[in-house]
Chain A
Amino acid sequence: MPGSTKNPPLTATTIRHAEPTTEIANSSPIAPDLAVLLTHEDVDRARDRLQVARARWKGRKSKTWGGVRLLWLLVGPGVLVFLGENDAPSMLSYSATGARFGIGFFIPFVIFTFAIGVVVQEMTVRLGAVTHRGHAELIFDRFGKFWGFFAMGDLVLGNFLTLVTEFIGVRAGLGFFGVRPIVAVGGALAIVVGAITTGRYWTWERITLGLAIFNGLFIPAAILARPDWFAVGHALLTWSPLPVGNRGEILLLILADIGATVTPWMLFFQQSAVVDKGMQPRDIGAGRFDTILGALLAATFGVAAILATAPLFHHGINAADFQAAEFAQALEPWIGHLGAALFALGIFEAGIVAAIAISTSSAYAFGEVFQTGHSLNRPLRDAWPFYLTLFGSAAAAAALVLIPHFPLEFIVLTVNVIAVLAMPPALAFLLLLVNDRELMGEHVNGMWANVLGVAITIFLIVAGLGFAVATVFPAWFSGERL
């Protein structure tokens, strides 16, 4: 058990192989040294832990309300990561899916991808709660700089391209209402800055959760599309009708829909957020609930986007080259101005929440790798490189979107596909870390988690190889069925 290790006196040279511990710091022999070194971050984290401790204590008197209060306090990283991943390019992928293939195979398939997401993200909850280290930090510590920088390369490239697409979504979503691009993008950047300058993880998390819940705007948009609920039920039960069309195009949408649910930034973000939130091994159950809740909400909203755009399929409208605003405009005759406006607002929301989450993910990873302060509980003056990375990545992505004639289409086309292709190595690191008994102690992966983890990795590799073959030999995929 990790907690069984005794800590040596705290000096720079003694603790080379830190063991995660479940000992409380106050009873540790190094407590006197720690007490004089406590930071603002520690105090804020302790404040959050105090709320959790009180909720647990009250929960012993009133199981129901105590449990609800406890979950309210511990929910956050899982919901944010999944609603953050229901970002602008993801919602556009779902919209393209609904417009191209209507109600059928893709509805259960999207739900299936979220089930994959739950399996993977649950491992990051355990890693964060047990080791109290972020994902990037653990990769660098356990595999060294060589492999660490490779993993970071994938993350930085994927994150930056995705961030650009978020601002494309913001611009396009507000463009439906006639808002000028510079105002839309500038306003979004101001919201990102507003969320990060609170100096408290808790406040940041609640603001972002408050924004993220507007991902649900796709539900009224879907209802206004008056979907055939019998067809929805049939699709859920039978995974049919199968998509008909160019196989290469179908494969690309499959890959884009997988990339809309499982991506490397999610691993880095959720683990770092779990650490920043101060979760401990005893919170793992709540962390699992948080992850499943996030996946359920995101899957519902993703399916809603498919249902909202299904009228375009039924009326034979070619949506192949549609971007966000075009989807909303094209939907207006079928779901009304209100429905189209909700759809456009949903795309705007998806972009802004993901911009906050992804830029935070980049900043966490930067801080962990370069060992600078990396917590939203730190004031700006204490952790300016962290906040500068966060703001800088968001600002650079926002600026690119405003450059006239910049090939934005190039980025939109590639972002979800790159996410899927970069996922197998990220999953390999994740599986190696979560099976590392020296790190995880009793919380190492069980057999079924490993079976599922390896199966998911193989599935993603096969999907990627299918995409490669379809690209190099398009003639092989010119058939009309999957």
Chain B
Amino acid sequence: MNPKNLSAGSNGAPGESAGVESAAKPDLKDPRVVLSLLETDQVVASKRQSRFGRRPLSLGIRILLWGLRSYVVIMLVIVAIAVIRALHPTP
């Protein structure tokens, strides 16, 4: 298969090319065919070697995250109280 056929989508859309769409039996042993069907950062090797970096957390976001974390911890204590009461009901 001519790799040129694989390099551009038939409608200009990326990811899936006209060559592959119309080919009767594309050979998936050909790495060019595999690559033509995937986006660059869909390939495992590419994902392994590239990571999204940390985003800066503003004071507002940090307060939000800490607030929600505290909420969960407090609520877990409440759940424990509820379960103890359910398992040992007072007469």
Q: CB distance B52 to A26 under 8 Å?
A: no
**How many of chain A's residues have a CB under 8 angstroms from any CB in B?**
78
Please, which residues of chain B bring their CB within 8 A of the CB of A121? none
Determine the residue in chain B with the shortest Cβ distance to A36: B31
Q: Decide if A317 is an interface residue (CB 8 Å cutoff).
A: no
Assess the A42–B14 pair: CB atoms within 8 A.
no
Which residues between 270 and 318 of chain A lie within 8 Å of chain B, taking CB atoms? 278, 280, 282
Complex contact B53–A53 (CB within 8 A): no
Q: How many residues of B contact A (CB 8 A)?
A: 60
Main secondary structure of the interface of B (DSSP, over half): helix
User: B54–A414 contact, CB under 8 A?
Assistant: no
Do A46 and B68 touch (CB < 8 A)? Answer: no
Chain A contact surface mostly? helix
Q: Are A50 and B52 in contact (CB under 8 A)?
A: no
**Contact at B49–A280, with CB atoms within 8 Å?**
no
B15 contacts A282, CB within 8 Å? Answer: yes
B68 A38 Cβ-Cβ under 8 A: no
A30 lies within 8 A of B46 (CB):
yes
Within 8 A of B (CB), among A18-40: 18, 20-28, 30-31, 33-39
Query: Considering the complex, which residues of chain B in the window 35-72 have a beta carbon less than 8 Å from any beta carbon of chain A?
Result: 35-55, 57, 61, 64-65, 68-69, 71-72
A residues with a Cβ closer than 8 A to B are 3, 7, 10-12, 15-18, 20-28, 30-31, 33-39, 41-43, 45-47, 49-50, 52-54, 56-57, 131-133, 138, 141-144, 147, 150, 154, 278, 280, 282, 371, 375, 407, 409-410, 413-414, 417-418, 421-422, 424-425, 428, 432, 436, 438-439, 461, 464, 467-468, 471-472
Beyond A21-B41, A280-B42, 13 additional contacts (C-beta under 8 Å) are A3-B14, A18-B41, A24-B16, A35-B35, A39-B45, A46-B37, A131-B41, A143-B57, A413-B83, A424-B71, A425-B68, A428-B64, A467-B78
